[in-house]
Amino acid sequence: MRYRIVFIVGLAVGYVLGTRAGRERYEQLQKMARQVRDNPSVQQAAGALQAQAATYAKSARGKLATGAGAAKAKVGGAIHERVPGMRTRDANGHASGGPDSYTSVPDTPGSPPAQ
């Protein structure tokens, strides 16, 4: 309870001091921020950081795409091995073959013998 009271008192003191600074101080801080933002060296550093971030994003995108493709292939193969009667599909995800193009399940009654 003591910490709450100290927090509330600190909040009240901060509010009073902040309102006394008022609009004039706000405008002053805004003017300083604008000067920093318009500084050519700051703009140059921001451009360099943006280019570096774009490079990192492109590299990360490539790594994620590679990892996702490998995971899809691994999971897809595992599913076809474990799910009986699942249709086989080509690289585009379309069912390959005709209506009878299901994967055969070995050792089930009525299925052709394994070759």
Cα–Cα distance for residue pair 80/90, rounded to 1 Å: 13
**Residue 83: what are its φ and ψ, rounded to 5°?**
-100, 110
pTM, full prediction: 0.39
Give me the residue spans of the domains in the chain. Answer: 2-82
pLDDT at 35: 93
Cα–Cα distance for residue pair 37/15, rounded to 1 Å: 28
Tens digit of pLDDT at every position of the chain (115 positions): 778 888 998 988 887 677 766 777 778 878 988 998 899 998 998 899 899 999 999 888 888 888 887 777 777 666 666 666 666 666 666 666 555 545 555 555 555 555 5
How many other CB atoms are found less than 10 A from the CB of residue 55?
Answer: 10
pLDDT at 66: 84
Cα–Cα distance for residue pair 35/91, rounded to 1 Å: 56
Cα–Cα distance for residue pair 46/52, rounded to 1 Å: 10
pLDDT at 97: 55
